[in-house]
Structure formats: C-alpha cells, structure tokens
Amino acid sequence: MRNPAKGGGSLLTNMSHHCRALVLHCIDFRLGKSIKNFLQEQELLGDADLVSLAGAAKNFVDPLAEPLVMRQIEISKKLHGIREVYLINHTDCGAYGGRDKFASTTAEHNVLAGDLRTAAEMITAKFSDLSVKCWIAHIEGGGHVRYEQVSE
Ligand SMILES: [Zn+2]
C-alpha cells in the first residue's frame, strides 16, 4: 500500500538503482579533475558506473585482461541496467609506452582510436543492445585535458 505522506512509490525506484552508463578510463591521475567535468558535461555524474584500468580500451585487446573488463560491463548491465558504455583512452598513456613511443601525434591517435574501435566492436558483439561511445582525452600543457569524440 502506498503512503503518500512518505513519498509513495519513489522507494521502488530507488531500490532498483539503475544508471545510464558504464565509463571506462585509465588510472592516470592527470585525468583527475577533467574526468569529473567530462562526466558533468555528458550528464553522467551520479548516473554511471566508473571503471578505472591502466590503458582503458587497451585491456580489450589484451587476452589476459579482456575477461576482467568484459565482466565489469556484464555486472554493470545486470545490476544497474546500463544502456551505454563510454570508453576513454588518453594521449601520453604509460600503458601504451607514453607519447615518445610514437613517431607522431597522428600515429599515436591512430593506435588509440584503433583500440577504441576494436573494443567497441567486441562489446557490441557480446551485448548487442549496448551503445558504445569512444573518446580520446588529450593531455595538454598546464594540466589541461581536452576531450575528443572518436567517430565510429
Ligand atoms: Zn593511461
């Protein structure tokens, strides 16, 4: 029985505690504050499960790490009914050997974007109802981080 004085049916809604998305990003501390701003801009703050793993999307192309990262999506979907996955790779990522490992910023971008696309394909192959959004966070001077969406 509903009791309007106590807020009625809102309890049921709270108990299901669904959220919109899972966000996977690198552990790198330099992303820190910018991640929060990004989530706010995307209206994901408080509405997303957050997974932090070194190299972010790189974990999907690593056979040892893939089951672990895929499992997080599976759990998030099962428990919180997510409909979207945000994958965020970043420049100068230590898990990729850092910026200096690449001959150019274009070469680095291509590798980061390539892994993001591969990861997105793997996720949608397993969970056809999830929509995957890929982003690259550019670590720039003065602690500034610029977010760029990678096209499908
Ligand atoms: Zn990183």
**pLDDT tens track for 87-104:** 999 999 999 999 999 999
The CA 25 to ligand 1 mean position distance, Å, reads: 8
The CA 10 to ligand 1 mean position distance, Å, reads: 40
- Mapped onto helix, strand or coil, the DSSP state of residue 79 is helix
Q: What is the pLDDT of residues 24-42, one digit of tens each?
A: 999 999 998 999 999 999 9
CATH superfamily placement of domain 16-150: Carbonic anhydrase (3.40.1050.10)
The CA 109 to ligand 1 mean position distance, Å, reads: 14
d(CA 149, CA 30): 19
- Percent of the chain past pLDDT 70, that is, above it, reads 89
The CA 61 to ligand 1 mean position distance, Å, reads: 15
Q: Across the chain, what does the average pLDDT equal?
A: 91
β-sheet with 21-25: strand ranges across: 48-52, 21-25, 84-90, 131-139, 145-150
Residue 15: the pLDDT is: 45
Paired strand residues for 84: 21, 131
Q: What is the pLDDT of residues 49-62, one digit of tens each?
A: 999 999 999 999 99
The CA 76 to ligand 1 mean position distance, Å, reads: 22
Say if residues 18 and 80 touch (Cβ distance below 8 Å): yes
3 pLDDT more than 70: no
Domain boundaries, the chain: 16-150
Eight-state DSSP code of residue 55 = T
Dihedral angle at the C-alpha atoms of 88, 92, 94, 99, nearest 10 degrees?
140
Q: What is the pLDDT of residues 61-92, one digit of tens each?
A: 999 999 999 999 999 999 999 999 999 999 99
The mean pLDDT value for 136-148 works out to: 94
Residue 62: the pLDDT is: 97
